[in-house]
Amino acid sequence: MVQPLTIILFGSAGSGKGTQGEFLMKAFRLEKVEAGELVRAKAKEDSPFGRHVKEVHETGKYLSDEEISQLVEEKIVSVPADRGLLIDGYPRRVGQATRLEEMLARAGRTNVKALAIAVGEDELKRRLLNRSVCVNGHILIGRDFTKCPIDGAAVSVRDYDQSEDAIMRRIRFYREEVLPAIDHFRAKGWVVDINGAQPVEAVRDEIFEKLGISQ
């Protein structure tokens, strides 16, 4: 039996990784493991840990590495062994990368690729200064929307996309914290580098070609 694929998806805010993740989930029938979604779901649970996660989330703080890793592992072990995974939003630093490597080993998932979608900082800044988001999480290019064209939901510009300073903080975090996590996986031979500065379809085609997917 062929081991199902696990894809760890990396890309700075504005890199288009969310769109590429949708393509990958359809192509491989992957189960999504998205850190932000796991946090929001846990925050709705009426349990001691759920209430703790809600408090941390609502005050704009971050869960500890151990706490976010617990959520991720709970999701991973809940997915049937014959189903592939798309892991997004985790790991965000080297310590988390080490934890994820251990989780995947415990789950018997050995067919792993880490896609690193790279876009230059000037292009990232341009993209982020021209985007908005609906309350259901759909990313929209442009800031003139009053309703989401996808589902009709309300649209806003997130605080961290409103100013160049806020955007640069996010880009610096990716450079200083996330890139070393990618390098951790690079040393294992897992990393597939992708040029994210191309049009959406060209990025998709490069990913599919490097993963050996026929379209």
14 annotated as a binding-site residue: yes
62 annotated as a binding-site residue: yes
152 annotated as a binding-site residue: no
For residue 155, the tally of other CB atoms under 10 A from its CB is 19
17 annotated as a binding-site residue: yes
Q: How far is CA 100 from CA 6, 82, 125, 169, 195, in A?
A: 12, 19, 29, 25, 25
89 annotated as a binding-site residue: yes
169 annotated as a binding-site residue: no
Distance CA 7, CA 27 (A): 12
70 annotated as a binding-site residue: no
16 annotated as a binding-site residue: yes
List, as one string, the DSSP characters of 144-196: --SB-TTT--BEE--GGGSSHHHHHHHHHHIIIIIHHHHHHHHTTT-EEEEET
Copy the structure tokens of residue 122.
Answer: 């000037």
6 annotated as a binding-site residue: no
Asked whether the bond before 199 is cis by omega within 30 degrees of 0, the reply is: no
20 annotated as a binding-site residue: no
115 annotated as a binding-site residue: no
Distance CA 198, CA 205 (A): 10
146 annotated as a binding-site residue: no
63 annotated as a binding-site residue: yes
91 annotated as a binding-site residue: yes
131 annotated as a binding-site residue: yes
106 annotated as a binding-site residue: no
List, as one string, the DSSP characters of 109-136: ---EEEEEEE--HHHHHHHHTTEEEETT
Give the amino acid at 214: S
90 annotated as a binding-site residue: yes
86 annotated as a binding-site residue: no
Copy the structure tokens of residue 153.
Answer: 């939901």
Residues that constitute the known binding site = 14-19, 40, 61-63, 89-92, 96, 131, 158, 170, 198
Residues that constitute the known binding site for ATP = 14-19, 131, 198
Residues that constitute the known binding site for AMP = 40, 61-63, 89-92, 96, 158, 170
